[in-house]
Chains A and B, each alone.
Chain A
Amino acid sequence: MIVSPSAVDGASESVEVPSELAHLLQELGESLIPMGAVDDALRRSGGDLDTAVRFLVEDARNRLQRKVEELLGDFSNWLRLRAQSLPLRLFVDYLDTLSEAIKQRVQQLFSNSGNAQLKRLRRDLGDFELLGLTPQVERLRREIVEMEARHKLAVDLVSILQRAIAVVQEWRAKAEEVRRFLFALDRKIHEELQSLPELPEGTNFFGNNLKDLDALRTYLHERAYSLVKQKLPWDGTTDSDLQFITESICDALLEDVPAVTIDKWLSENEVGNLLKRLPVWAGVGEKKALLFSLPKPFIWVEIPQAIRKPIEERIESGLVTISDNSSVLIVHIFKLHPIQAVEDWEEWQLADEKVRQAFGGFAVNSAEPFAGEGDDVGA
């Protein structure tokens, strides 16, 4: 993005400048003194150098006046393209670099008066005229006219470059606004993600509809990146942009997200992952699970789906489907508990004993007699 432009201000050294500045300088150069303009000014002035310089400057200023808005518009559009191709932080860095480069160029224009060179050229011109060296005289006259005109037009160039700096600053301000917008968007999406269910890692809820979840996610990332860049509000933001951009990008991305087809019977890995997430607070403790060699729970995921209710009248046209009202996933976990492993089972027994004591030993907390109380648990 940094190139070596042709110098337009007479400076002979090659300076590395951002390409947008190089383009601008090149365009300015072509507008300032086009090919043949010097000869034309000399011809119109009847050979008088000062008059030729004045003609040249006037023509250049007229051209600049006509073209400056267009040039700065192009300059701004180049920056827009740059904004769309770079990550925001790099774009901001780029704007800072560009602004600095323009300021340096302005500084060069101020410092490079060219008076010494002009004096030398005028002295050489006098010598060549005395010697009658016509070709050299003509060349020097053109050089002097062009150099003097450029010298006088430097102030115009500086003015335009300062306006270019202002354009860069505008983009810098826009970038700051877009940055704030992106942060707000990021925060909003983060909040919504927090409210959405977090699914177990490694569980492919797209079933046979998707072979490679990682590949899908990589693709979605790239697509989202491209969509966000296209939709960034460089021309100003409004409060509604957040929702609008989120929804429009989501809609576009969802076209590539397959339908969820969760297997009803989860794999062993998926069960493990799910259990890590679910609050299985009422389960058997780890120690008891070991003590009783408990099998792993059986998990069944109830998925919202249509229920078919065939109606005779419509058999010919197929089944009538009634939508199940449920729109949420329900996870059922079945665990076999030996009753001795039931949490706080000892407390249950104790409560039973106390109730029986309160009723003189009768099992009023039972719907049947327990003749052999001692056999209850071990029976």
Chain B
Amino acid sequence: MYRSVLEFHGTTAWEIAKALRRRVEGTLKEWLPLWRVLVTETIKHGPIDLPQEWHFLPIFAPLPRLWQDKERLDLPDWMKNLPCSVWGVDLRYGAAKKPAAAAIAFALPHHQRDLVAWRQQAWEKLTDVTSLWQELKARQVLVDLGEDPFIVVVGAAGGATGHAGVLNAIDFWSRHPDAPLILVFLVGPHAGSTFDEFRTERANAYRLFLSVRKRQKVEQLWVFWLDSRPNQREQLLQETANFLFCLLARPEGAQLRRLFLDGFAAARRDFGAAVCRVDTFRIEAPLDALRRREALSALSSALRTLMGR
């Protein structure tokens, strides 16, 4: 099991976070202090029944009201120049597929302050091995803390909050003095998009890919892209959660991470030009079924011999 800070931004990522929580608690009975989780969503209030290692930050801002005084806000100029249709988004009901609106909310000083504070605290907790060891020991769990902690960032490629949140996270962690490995998971845009939103989702994903690509200058950042047909959304979210579980909890998680960094495509990898597409296929094959297939195949062939075919 490996230490990690996990950030889930937007509705799709929140669904994945919940699936991951179910998987972890279903397997290990409880969420472990090894994994610090941040969830952001453009709503006014977040849930309260989360494990203590989790933090839900509602990225709400009354944009239409703030628009009047935008010049006095501590925001980048380009945000202030965005059209009023962006400032008119009521973030209580999401960011309306406008990453620019979500970006304003993330950039608001009090949100930025909260995000930075939580991230710094989460990192300190994970890297304070002595304290973490004590905490794990109190829960009667012993884990090898030899592996460096890493960052997992999850968001929908075609959405708004996920889009803005992912870039916000990358910008923070890529400037972090410890330069942790950042694994970004972009989900969609095809999975789950409706016909009406299809063009917008693609447009948003296009921009997000370009933005991520601009940041892929060092081998610190690895971007994974997962997508499916619209009607396979639930399956995709579940498989993404399962894959995250592998990285966090399964023995080969460390080897996988090393391979992404050094192994299977090191020589061919071209930073800034490529995304790593992950396709996950579930072969409904309990291991016993593999053995049973051998037995049944033999039985079938014996029957044919017996019947003189």
Q: Which A residues fall within an 8 A CB radius of B?
A: 87-90, 179, 182-183, 185-186, 189-190, 192-193, 196-197, 199, 205, 216-217, 220-225, 227-229, 246, 249-250, 253-254, 257, 259-260, 264, 278-280, 282-283, 295, 298, 300, 302-305, 307-313, 315, 322-339, 342, 347-349, 351-352, 354-356, 359-360, 362-370, 376-377, 379
Contact = CB atoms under 8 A, between A and B. Distances in A.
Given A327-B286, A337-B276, A365-B100, A298 B265 contact: yes
B250 A362 contact: no
Given A87-B306, A196-B289, A225-B302, A334 B277 contact: yes
Contacts of A322: 27-29
Contacts of A359: 83, 85-86
Interface string B97-109: 1111111001000
B117 interface: no
Contacts of B203: 348, 351-352, 354-356, 365
A222 B306 CA distance: 11
Nearest to B96: A364
A282 B228 contact: yes
Contact of B78 (A222, A342, A369): A369
A191 B269 CA distance: 45
A202 B208 CA distance: 41
B289 A197 contact: yes
Contacts of A199: 285, 290, 293
B283 A329 contact: yes
Given A307-B250, A326-B242, A333-B280, A362 B303 contact: no
B154 to A, nearest CB: 16
Instruction: List the 6 closest A-B pairs by CB distance, nearest first.
Output: A89-B308, A220-B298, A224-B302, A367-B103, A197-B285, A369-B78
B295 interface: yes
Interface stretch (B36-44, B45-53, B136-144, B174-182): B136-144
B129 interface: no
B284 A310 contact: no
Nearest to B297: A193
Interface in B263-296: 264-265, 268-270, 272-287, 289-296
A376 B85 contact: no
A225 B303 CA distance: 7
A365 B203 CA distance: 6
Nearest to B89: A364
Interface in B83-133: 83, 85-86, 97-103, 106
Main secondary structure, interface of B, reads helix
Contacts of B142: 310-312, 315
Given A189-B303, A196-B292, A220-B295, A366 B264 contact: no
A348 B98 contact: no
B249 interface: yes
Contacts of A300: 256
Contacts of B284: 197, 328
Contact of A197 (B252, B274, B290): B290
A22 B302 CA distance: 32
Given A332-B278, A355-B200, A224 B164 contact: no
Nearest to B249: A307
Interface string B208-248: 11110110000000000101100000000001001100100
Contacts of B168: 367
A224 B301 contact: yes
B70 interface: no
18 contacts: A185-B303, A189-B300, A224-B302, A246-B299, A257-B294, A264-B252, A302-B246, A307-B249, A311-B140, A322-B28, A322-B29, A325-B23, A325-B26, A331-B283, A332-B280, A355-B200, A359-B86, A365-B97
B306 A363 contact: no
A307 B99 CA distance: 39
Contacts of A189: 296, 299-300, 303
A365 B293 contact: no
B280 A379 contact: no
B211 A330 contact: no
Nearest to A264: B252
Interface in B1-47: 1, 23, 26-29
Contact of A351 (B27, B206, B214, B269): B206
Contacts of A376: 210
B303 A182 contact: yes
Contacts of B99: 364-367
Contacts of B97: 365
A186 B307 contact: yes
Contacts of B210: 339, 370, 376-377
B140 A182 contact: no
A201 to B, nearest CB: 12
A284 to B, nearest CB: 8
A330 B204 contact: no
Contact of B100 (A89, A310, A366): A366
Contacts of B81: 362
B145 to A, nearest CB: 13
Contact of B303 (A228, A253, A329, A367): A228
A330 B238 CA distance: 12
Contacts of B26: 325
B89 to A, nearest CB: 10
B73 interface: no
B298 A223 contact: yes
B211 A366 contact: yes
Nearest to A192: B296
B282 A328 contact: yes
B296 A298 contact: no
Contacts of B101: 364
A312 B140 contact: yes
Most central of B106, B206, B225 by chain A CB within 10 Å? B206
A260 B293 contact: no
Nearest to A354: B199
A283 B277 contact: yes
Contacts of B205: 348
A249 B291 CA distance: 13
Nearest to B76: A369
Most central of A89, A354, A362 by chain B CB within 10 Å? A362
